[in-house]
Amino acid sequence: MAVTETRHTRYEPNQFEAKWQDRWEDEALYRAEDFLPKPKYYLLNFFPYPSGAGLSVGHSKNYVPTDVMARYMRMRGYNVLFPMGWDAFGLPAENEAILRQVPPQENTARNVANYKRQLKLQGTSFDWTREINASHPDYYRWTQWFFLMMLRKGLAYRATGLQWWCPQCKTILANEQVVNGYCWRHTDQPVERKELEQWYFRITDYADELLESLDDLDWPERIILMQRNWIGRSTGAEITFTARDSAGNSYPIPVFTTRPDTIYGATFLVLSPEHPLVDVLASPEQRGDVMQYQQRAARETEIQRLSTERDKTGVFVGAFATNPMTGEEMPIWIADYVLMGYGTGAIMAVPAHDQRDFEFAARYHLPVREVIEGPPGAPGGEGAYAGPGTVVNSGPFDGLDADEAKEAITAALTEKGVGHAAVTYRLRDWLVSRQRYWGAPIPIVYCDTCGMVPVPEDQLPVLLPPLEHFAPGEDGRSPLANDPNFVNTACPACGGPARRETDTLDTFVDSSWYYLRFASPHEVDAPFDADAARYWAPIDLYVGGAEHAVMHLLYFRFFTKVMADAGLVPFREPAPRLRNQGTMHGANGARMSKSKGNVVTPDSVVAEYGADSLRAYICFIGPFEADAFWDPTGINGVHRWLSRVWDMAQPMAVDREAGEPEELELRRAINKTIKRVTADLEGFQFNTAVSTLMELSNLMQRLRPALERAEVWRWATDQMLLIMAPLTPYISEELWSRRGGGESIHRQAWPEYDEVMTIDEVKTIVVQVNGKVRDRLEVPQSEDMESVREQALSSPKVQPYLAGKEVAKVVVVLDKLVNIVVR
RNA sequence: GCCGGCGUGGCGGAAUGGCAGACGCACGGGACUUAAAAUCCUGGACCGAAAGGUGUGUGGGUUCGACUCCCACCGCCGGCACCA
């Protein structure tokens, strides 16, 4: 046998990582305890859907840095709530179950077990005693309860309308789930329109608050902007024009405009093809054309209709309306560029000052009347003028600035009773019903005698029955409709025969309140315990991807405001601070996904390098918010670093004195490192935290021969392990225990630093001549700048640049530099 | 088209308006080895023999001094896109 006289063992993370995982769990190291007197910190990741594909290192880009924060905050003395649960309902889960021909219940359970295993593998410190699952009856019971609350408060309603239908998902989608006319899950699947009766939540009631309180959020600017655009608040006026049909009957047509100042320039009205007055107003001569156009518009896909490139088309209705300001007669047209779902579904067309109206007028030879004159020299040319200017051709309002005219004309309209200031939103109500199996059944019963009856709270949950055939049908009905045992029930009001609602709730309803369930995950009498929720919520730091900018993140804000109004929670925003992690791309540059064939699993990385190397590399790879590219060789760097740490932090006898200069240098380095890493972690800069630690270990490597058997070395190594503990929990714990550190390193306090010890004994002063570096002066920290200035001016390296020149100015920056300006 | 964000070595990236390229990857040279791996030491922005000069997408500006602030342009990424 070869003699392997190595002083220490090699760094082999597989030898001890599993051991610590078990021990941490046994010792309940990460259990969050309600109502501790310590300050609380609620750290949460977006609610994940446990996919059969399992986790990739792309997911680690979210979970690892968040876990680092959780561990850091615990060491800072916070009572940290860092829970995990499963957004297990929903289409992807159901589709996967269909594909595998396994009931979704079973499939989900297996996926959850795998996710959990993978998360533990990576050393995440979730409190698993608070694990929740949205597809369990003890959870969705309360999702249903919230639906009833919405209904009670008048915020849930049923309505018929043309809705987006994805032929692949075989269900209706919410507006937020339609992307440029395509399904958000099937990006090559155009959505179609179906006329169906659906359930909605009245999110538009909260549009103003959802918009205004964005200002108070510490969220990425991008997300705030996207929400602001999505809500799309426009201010202007609603103006009532009076239309007459060919028989001489009058009908009011309200229009919404953001430019009431241009009303004198309105030369025709345009109604949406679906506008209810179209049928009434169409003249006998025009009726044929009008109906043909309406049918064509109905057939158009959303993509065709939304295309801005396409020429504007329309048809004259055969009727006229009176402009309430001018008394002028204007023709009424229909055109598909006017949408029924926005504003009033009708507009006054001002071709001189609106590009769309201009194009329409040009095509159909309708009159154009200029009423806003731009400043002199303003670009004339093609198209509508939408800029600022002075009002002309507008009777008594001539000469006013356009902004003044907005107010003046709105006031005049109000005075005459034909208009008023108005606000319109792009945001529509949230469509929450889905014609799919795998979701929370909507707790409603239809009785022939009593009509629609909510299921009483004490009869919740309405259980989702196991179904043999749970795949969606072609008929636009939920598979639940095929189960007579589910459908047929007794009316809760009269006891007579009744039918259950068979649609299920959008999964975004599940994720709109889950963050509160974590406060008291086992509560049986309420969705959450009010005191526990008051203690833990709102979320102090919420972390997830930017793809949920206008879906989940809007819905759960809405839910929170409703809950606040219901007295359930004392705050109106669920997550005052939000951060988005960047996307992890595979080595081939594509987003990491199974279909791109570039998935790297945490399992394979952990097997090869250990979890700490994975964690450190994920942190080191780049800024948290930035996208990253997985470089399979890049991890070597952090792995080598950890191997060196392993080697230098082995327990060592203390039997030598340290050399004083080295000891001081090490002490300073430790203090500086604590200071920097503290600032880095607070600022979410995990990449520089790791590089700071690498610098420290490089320095220690250099000082090691001089110091490794001195007391200061032992102290420094302990400090280093403490700073590393949140980033690399396993190696820190293993070395800590080998060194006899006592209780788990993860129960230790975050190290303090001494400001004085972060300052070097000497300072380096840069000497510039005309901004170019010519010399560097090493002077004692205490040296005053006046003396430094003299030294700089007399520096031999600087002299040649001063020769024959006149010194015009000397700029002195404290402890930093001297810049000599010469002419 | 409109609104954001970003442009720094071969690559990932670092730099309160004050030494550009920290820390790594990859690569070159060397040590150890019969050899290799691993490890350790070492080198490198570019031009130039050197002195020195030039460099943070391009062009201007502010400043004693600009990767950093301002203006214009180019490129990439993201969002929105007939919303009246």
Residue range A537-576, pLDDT digits in tens: 999 999 998 888 888 999 999 999 999 999 999 999 999 9
Task: Give the distance, in angstroms, between the CA of residue A549 and the centroid of all CA atoms in the same chain.
Answer: 4
Long-range contacts made by residues A1-10, C-beta under 8 angstroms, separation at least 24? A7/A650, A8/A646, A8/A647, A8/A650, A10/A643, A10/A646
Distance CA(A754)–CA(A766), nearest Å, equals 27
Spatial CA neighbour of A437 closest among A510, A512, A505, A509: A505
CATH H-level superfamily of A634-757: Isoleucyl-tRNA Synthetase; Domain 1 (1.10.730.10)
Query: Within 7 Å: CB of A776 and strand B?
Result: yes
CATH of domain A143-215+432-508: 3.40.50.620
Residues 610-629 of A with CB under 7 A from strand B: 620-623, 626-629
CA distances from A195 to A215, A300, A577 (A): 38, 15, 40
How many Å does it take to go from CA A700 to C1' B49? 39
Query: Within 7 Å: CB of A10 and strand B?
Result: no
Pairing type for strands A578-580 and A250-257 reads unpaired
How many Å does it take to go from CA A811 to C1' B42? 39
- A637 nearest nucleotide via C1' and CA: B24
Query: Within 7 Å: CB of A684 and strand B?
Result: no
- A259 nearest nucleotide via C1' and CA: B84
Query: Within 7 Å: CB of A336 and strand B?
Result: yes
Query: Within 7 Å: CB of A228 and strand B?
Result: no
Architecture in CATH of A760-822: Roll (3.10)
Given a contact cutoff of 8 angstroms between Cβ atoms, the answer to whether A165 and A191 are in contact is yes
How many Å does it take to go from CA A370 to C1' B74? 37
Given a contact cutoff of 8 angstroms between Cβ atoms, the answer to whether A738 and A650 are in contact is yes
Long-range contacts made by residues A699-702, C-beta under 8 angstroms, separation at least 24? A699/A665, A699/A666, A699/A669, A700/A648, A700/A666, A700/A669, A701/A644, A701/A648
Query: Within 7 Å: CB of A590 and strand B?
Result: no
pLDDT score, position A376: 66
**Which residue stretches of chain A have pLDDT < 70?**
1-8, 301-309, 376-382
Query: In 3-state terms, what secondary structure has residue A817?
Result: strand
- A770 nearest nucleotide via C1' and CA: B64
The H or E element containing residue A196 is strand A192-201
Distance CA(A689)–CA(A697), nearest Å, equals 13
The protein residue nearest nucleotide B26, judged by CA to C1', is: A633
DSSP letter for each residue of A288-299: HHHHHHHHHHHH
The protein residue nearest nucleotide B80, judged by CA to C1', is: A229
- A179 nearest nucleotide via C1' and CA: B80
The protein residue nearest nucleotide B15, judged by CA to C1', is: A688
Give me the amino acid identity at A549.
A
- The two tokens of residue A723 are 């700073």
Query: Within 7 Å: CB of A641 and strand B?
Result: yes
Spatial CA neighbour of A397 closest among A267, A270, A259: A259
Phi, psi angle pair for A286, to nearest 5°: -90, -15
Query: Within 7 Å: CB of A596 and strand B?
Result: no
Give me the amino acid identity at A18.
A
pLDDT score, position A305: 62
Condensed to tens digits (0 to 9), the pLDDT of residues A79-91 reads 999 999 999 999 8
- A685 nearest nucleotide via C1' and CA: B14
Query: Within 7 Å: CB of A306 and strand B?
Result: yes
- A766 nearest nucleotide via C1' and CA: B19
Distance CA(A394)–CA(A412), nearest Å, equals 13
pLDDT score, position A3: 31
| CATH match of A234-424 with 3.40.47.10 | no
pLDDT score, position A7: 47
Helices A91-100, A104-121: axis angle to 10 degrees equals 110
Query: Within 7 Å: CB of A57 and strand B?
Result: no
Spatial CA neighbour of A773 closest among A712, A717, A819: A819
Domain with CATH 1.10.730.10 in chain A: 634-757
pLDDT score, position A301: 61
Given a contact cutoff of 8 angstroms between Cβ atoms, the answer to whether A227 and A575 are in contact is no
CA distances from A703 to A143, A251, A724 (A): 60, 90, 19
Query: Within 7 Å: CB of A383 and strand B?
Result: no
Task: List CB contacts of A295: < 8 A, sequence separation 6 or more.
Answer: none
Domain with CATH 3.10.20.590 in chain A: 760-822
Distance CA(A331)–CA(A366), nearest Å, equals 9
Domain with CATH 3.40.50.620 in chain A: 143-215+432-508
Residue that is written with structure tokens 């009008």 in the block = A290
Query: Within 7 Å: CB of A304 and strand B?
Result: no
- The two tokens of residue A41 are 């910190």
How many Å does it take to go from CA A708 to C1' B84? 76
How many Å does it take to go from CA A676 to C1' B10? 30
Task: Give the distance, in angstroms, between the CA of residue A136 and the centroid of all CA atoms in the same chain.
Answer: 26
The protein residue nearest nucleotide B63, judged by CA to C1', is: A771
Query: Within 7 Å: CB of A182 and strand B?
Result: no
Given a contact cutoff of 8 angstroms between Cβ atoms, the answer to whether A49 and A89 are in contact is no
How many Å does it take to go from CA A627 to C1' B77? 10
Given a contact cutoff of 8 angstroms between Cβ atoms, the answer to whether A323 and A241 are in contact is yes
Query: Within 7 Å: CB of A691 and strand B?
Result: yes
Residues 700-719 of A with CB under 7 A from strand B: 701
Query: Within 7 Å: CB of A640 and strand B?
Result: yes
Residues 245-284 of A with CB under 7 A from strand B: 256-259, 272
Q: What's the ipTM?
A: 0.94
Q: Is the peptide bond before A461 cis (omega within 30 degrees of 0)?
A: yes
Residues 533-552 of A with CB under 7 A from strand B: 546, 550
Residue A429 C-beta-side C-alpha neighbours within 13 Å: 19
Alpha helices by DSSP H, listed for A593-728, are: 602-609, 611-620, 635-648, 660-682, 686-707, 711-724
Given a contact cutoff of 8 angstroms between Cβ atoms, the answer to whether A119 and A504 are in contact is no
Give me the amino acid identity at A779.
V
Distance CA(A72)–CA(A749), nearest Å, equals 9
A381: number of Cβ within 10 Å: 6
- The two tokens of residue A689 are 């935290």
Give me the amino acid identity at A268.
F
Q: Which nucleotides of B are covered by protein (CB under 7 A)?
A: 3-5, 11-16, 18-20, 22-26, 38-41, 53-54, 64-66, 78-84
Give me the amino acid identity at A171.
T
Rg (CA), chain A: 34
pLDDT score, position A302: 59
Domain with CATH 3.90.740.10 in chain A: 234-424
pLDDT score, position A303: 58
- A342 nearest nucleotide via C1' and CA: B83
Distance CA(A660)–CA(A664), nearest Å, equals 6
Scored b (16 or more CB within 10 A) or e, A572-593 reads bbbbbebbbbbbbbbeeeeebe
Spatial CA neighbour of A619 closest among A699, A543, A684, A546: A684
Give me the amino acid identity at A118.
Q
How many Å does it take to go from CA A77 to C1' B71? 49
- The two tokens of residue A549 are 């900018």
Query: Within 7 Å: CB of A342 and strand B?
Result: yes
DSSP letter for each residue of A55-109: --HHHHHHHHHHHHHHHHHHHTT-EEE---EE---SHHHHHHHHHHTS-HHHHHH
CA distances from A362 to A75, A272, A383 (A): 70, 19, 10
How many Å does it take to go from CA A666 to C1' B43? 27
- A349 nearest nucleotide via C1' and CA: B84
- The two tokens of residue A567 are 């007295």
Residue that is written with structure tokens 């309308």 in the block = A161
A401: number of Cβ within 10 Å: 14
- A701 nearest nucleotide via C1' and CA: B40
Residues 408-467 of A with CB under 7 A from strand B: 424, 426
Beta bridge partners of A79: A40
The protein residue nearest nucleotide B13, judged by CA to C1', is: A622
The protein residue nearest nucleotide B17, judged by CA to C1', is: A813
Query: Within 7 Å: CB of A770 and strand B?
Result: yes
Query: Within 7 Å: CB of A179 and strand B?
Result: yes
The protein residue nearest nucleotide B65, judged by CA to C1', is: A771
A51: buried, middle or exposed (CB in 10 Å: 19+, 13-18, 0-12)?
middle
Given a contact cutoff of 8 angstroms between Cβ atoms, the answer to whether A521 and A131 are in contact is yes
A324: number of Cβ within 10 Å: 20
